[in-house]
Amino acid sequence: MFVAALLVLLNDPSVRSEFSPQACRLLREAAFLLLAYTGAAALLLTHEMGAEDAARIAQIEAARARGETVVHFPRIENTRRAPASRLLRGLGQRRHEGRRDGILSG
């Protein structure tokens, strides 16, 4: 969000005139690199989550084929989260202890 705001500000002629052309170019390049880094990390995590979801769906389908109605999954350990997310995740786990099983309907 800050990168987008910076790019919008640099696109304004009155703001751009205060910076040298080299400074504007450097800020744009830095914004692009930050955007590329963040985008690559987001794509990697999205891919990993999709692969894990596919594996869990396959487990559910296999259990359904065997006639089971409850599937027990191991806890998902994703350590690449922000500290605030860990805190909120911990609060949510305390509230929902014992509800980690996938209940099948069919």
The full 3-state SS of the chain, as one line of letters, equals CHHHHHHHHHHCHHHHCCCCHHHHHHHHHHHHHHHHHHHHHHHHHHHHHHHHHHHHHHHHHHHHHCCCCEECCCCCCCCCCCHHHHHHHHHHHHHCCCCCCEECCC
**What does the pLDDT profile of the chain (106 residues) look like in tens digits?**
777 787 787 778 888 788 888 887 888 888 888 889 988 988 998 898 888 889 889 989 999 999 988 888 777 676 665 555 555 555 555 444 444 445 554 4
Q: What is the pLDDT of residue 79?
A: 62
pTM of the model: 0.51
